[in-house]
Amino acid sequence: MADLVRRNHWVVRVTHWVNVVAIIVMAGSGMRIFNAHPAFARPGERFPLNPWEGHAIPKWLTFGAWLGGARHWHFAMMWILVLNGLAYLVFLFLHGEWRDVVPRKGDARDAIEMLRFYLFLRRDHPIQGKHNALQKSAYFAMPVLGVIIVLSGLAIWKPVTLGFITVLFVNYKWARVVHFVAMVLLIVLALIHVFMVFAVDPYALRSIITGWYNRANSPEARNARPFYHLVAPRRSSAESETDA
């Protein structure tokens, strides 16, 4: 079929799924570590920006069973995330795919147009390339949040030895706050990403598994809004004969 194209390189697919596993384990083990002292303030003090100060995260959301086990899993996944992230960024640079995710002039305007389309304020799907402006913003923000998470995590791990990193976040307490908030934002972006894949472009699942994508099924071709127009338009017999 003329519309079937190779969309995702095997490096992108492998690093994507490694990230999925690493982030899930890191988030779960991190919450288990946090529960050892479920507060940002020191014992006897209060942290006014956290209304849940002192309240532990539900155990079903945690991973690692005990503090020592959670720490082992957390640090193991951290190094996997770092190496995997470096491999992904090097690939993007060498392969030229960084152009697909780096923000460009006009992205803010395009993002507003996508929101207008999703809110039924615009009838036709905005013209897009591989990713629309909202997707590009999310894909660019995720690696940035990953860097912040790793740096703040190192600041928490060795606040004295790595004091030159800790000072970037003011002190140990604020490094914990930044680490926690950045991880929450990353998880929220990931959940929105998963939701939008199933709601708008479920056909993209094929491309992140096999690498192939049918452009006839793209949201732009189907004028697809969340949970609307999920079925690709039927092709005429003349089109089918042309492809054959």
Whole-angstrom distance, CA of residue 243 vs CA of residue 241:
5
Query: Contact, 207 vs 10, CB < 8 A?
Result: no
| Residue 42 CB-density burial (10 A; 0-12 exposed, 13-18 middle, 19+ buried) | exposed
So what's the pLDDT on residue 138?
87
Ranges of the chain whose pLDDT falls below 70: 1-2, 230-244
So what's the pLDDT on residue 231?
57
Count up the domains in the chain and report the number.
1
Question: Euclidean distance between the first and final Cα of the chain, in Å?
Answer: 7
Look-up of token digits 């490094």: 175
So what's the pLDDT on residue 1?
55
So what's the pLDDT on residue 185?
94
- Tell me the CATH number at 84: 1.20.950.20
* pLDDT per residue as tens digits for the range 49-64: 778 888 899 999 999 8
Q: Which range of residues forms the domain containing residue 208?
A: 4-243
